[in-house]
Amino acid sequence: MDSLIYNHTYYCESITINCIPVYYLEPNTRISIFDEKSNIFGEYIVKSFNIPLAYNGSMSITATKAEDLIL
Do 63 and 27 contact (CB within 8 A), yes or no? no
Do 22 and 59 contact (CB within 8 A), yes or no? yes
CA pair distance 50, 41, nearest whole angstrom: 22
pTM for this predicted structure: 0.74
Select the more confidently predicted residue: 68 or 63.
63
In the predicted model, is pLDDT for residue 46 greater than 90? yes
Average pLDDT value for residue range 27-31: 90
Do 64 and 45 contact (CB within 8 A), yes or no? yes
Q: Report pLDDT for 71.
A: 55
In the predicted model, is pLDDT for residue 51 greater than 80? yes
Q: Report pLDDT for 52.
A: 86
